[in-house]
Amino acid sequence: MPSLSIVMPSMNEEETIRICIEKAQFIFKKYGIEGEIIVADNSSDRTAEIAASMGARVIGPIKGYGNAYLKGLAEAKGDYIAIADADNTYDLLELDRFLDPLMAGEADFIMGTRLKGNIKKGAMPWLHQYIGNPFLTGTLNFLFKTKISDAHCGMRAFTKEALEKMNLKTYGMELASEMVIEAAKCELRIKEVPITYYSRRAPSKLRSFHDGWRHMRFMMLYRPLPFLLLPGAVVFILGVLITGSLLISANAAESRLHSFILGCMLLILGGQTLSTGGYMKTYGIVRGVYPKDKGSTAKWLNYHSLEKELLVGSLILGAGLLLGLKVVYTWISSGYGSLSEVKNAVISMVFAFIGLQMIFSAIILSVMLLEVDTDW
C-alpha cells in the first residue's frame, strides 16, 4: 500500500503535467516511501496521455473542480494524502513542509498559505490577493472560528483518517471552503505552512465574482443564522414596532403615512429574509450538512410544525382578505366615490402577503423534507 497519495485535478495542462509528476516522484524518493499519483482529468489535449506514460493513474474524464477532487480522493489509498493543481503554480518540491508535521503527528490537516509565503509577480491578480481572498478568508474565520490566512490555497495535505472524518460533498470550486469548514467542524488539528505561488503558463480558469459568490453561498448554507435568519428577524421586529406604534396612536398612520409604509415594507422584507433563511437551513439538513441531534433540528423537521405554519399562514391571509373586503364594502357603500382607507388597505395587503409567504414556505419546506428521516 502506498504511504503517500498525491491527487491532482487537470484540464488541458499538457505543458506542466510532466514537471508536476517529476516533482512528486522526487518527493517519493526523498522520503523513501511508496507513493501514487492520481490525475483526475478532464482534458482535450495530451495531458492524460503524458500523465499515464509517466506512471500516474489517470481517472476521468471528470467535469468540475470539486468533483475531480472527490473522485480522486475516493481512489487515494495512502496513509497521507496531498492535493495540488497540475498547472505547476504550486511547487510540489515544497511538500516536505506539509509531510514533516503530518508524519510527526503534529497536525491532521496542513494548509499552504500564499499570503504569508512568496507570491511571484503576476501569479495572483490584485483583486484576489488584496480583496477577494482576504474577505472570504476573514468571513470563514469569523463564522467557523478558524485562524487561517489563505482559505483558498489549493495545496494541502492531510491524513487518511482526517479525510474519512470530513464529509466532503461539493462538486464545484466551493470544495476548497467545504474542506476547511469540515476540518474545523471535526476539530482536526489544522496547521499552516508558507509556500511559493508561481504564475500559470496557460490562461486561468477562475472566474472571480462567480467563484467568489459560490464560496459565499456555501458558507451561507452552513451558517444561515448570521446571514439571513438573524438579520431577517431584526428587520421584521423593527417593522412590527414601527407599524404597531403608529396603529395604536389615533390617526398616526394617516398623518405619518411615509413612516407607516416604511414599517410595512420592513415587515415584508423581514418575512422574505426569514423564509429564505428557512429554505437554506432546510436544504442544509437535506444535504446532511448539520450533525444529527434530538433538539432543534428534530423540531425543525417535524411535519406537524409545518402544518402549524400552514394554519397560521392561512389565518393571517384570511385576516388580510377580510380587512380588504371591509375596505371594498366601505367603498361600495360610499357610492364608489373617494375613500380614505389607506391604513386598512395597506394592512390588508401586508397581512395577505405575509400569509401567502407562510403558506408557500410551508409547502416548499414540506416538499424538501419528504424523504428526510424525521426520527432523529
Looking at the structure, tell me whether residues 290 and 145 fall in a common domain. Answer: no
pLDDT, residue 299, reads: 63
What's the rounded mean pLDDT across residues 213-238?
A: 88
Last-in-domain residue among 193, 221, 249: 221
More confident residue, 74 or 335: 74
Rounded mean pLDDT of the chain?
87
What is the count of structural domains for the chain?
2
What is the pLDDT at residue 209? 76
Average pLDDT (99-124) is 93
274 and 236 Cβ atoms separated by less than 8 Å: yes
Q: Give the burial string for 317-331 (b: 16+ CB within 10 Å, else e).
A: bebbeebbeebeeee
Name the percent of the chain lying above pLDDT 90.
52
Percent of the chain exceeding pLDDT 70 equals 89
Q: Quick one: 209 and 268 in the same domain?
A: no
Q: What is residue 280's predicted lDDT score, i.e. its pLDDT?
A: 87
Q: Are residues 102 and 207 in the same domain?
A: yes
Pairing between strand 35-41 and 109-119? unpaired
- What's the pLDDT band for 180 if we cut at 50, 70, 90? very high
What pLDDT digit, counting tens, does each position of 27-61 carry?
999 999 999 999 999 999 999 999 999 999 999 89
Per-residue cell: 79: 496513509
258 and 351 within one domain: yes
Q: 129-138, 236-245, 263-272, 322-331: lowest mean pLDDT where?
A: 322-331
- 154's grid cell: 489549493
Highest mean pLDDT among 17-26, 192-201, 273-282, 291-300: 17-26
Question: Does residue 373 form part of some domain?
Answer: no
Q: How far apart are CA 130 and CA 125, in angstroms?
A: 9
- Closest-CA residue to 159 (of 42, 271, 80): 80
- Check residue 161 and give its pLDDT: 96
**pTM, 2 dp:** 0.78
Q: Are residues 181 and 246 in the same domain?
A: no
Write down the pLDDT at residue 283.
Answer: 83
CATH number reported for the structural domain that contains residue 143 in this entry: 3.90.550.10
- 265 or 208, which is more confident: 265
**pLDDT, position 218:** 86
Q: Are residues 293 and 164 in the same domain?
A: no
Range of the domain at 150: 4-221
Query: Could you tell me the pLDDT band of residue 376, with boundaries at 50, 70 and 90?
Result: very low
Q: Which residues 6+ apart lie within 8 Å of 312 measured at CB?
A: 358
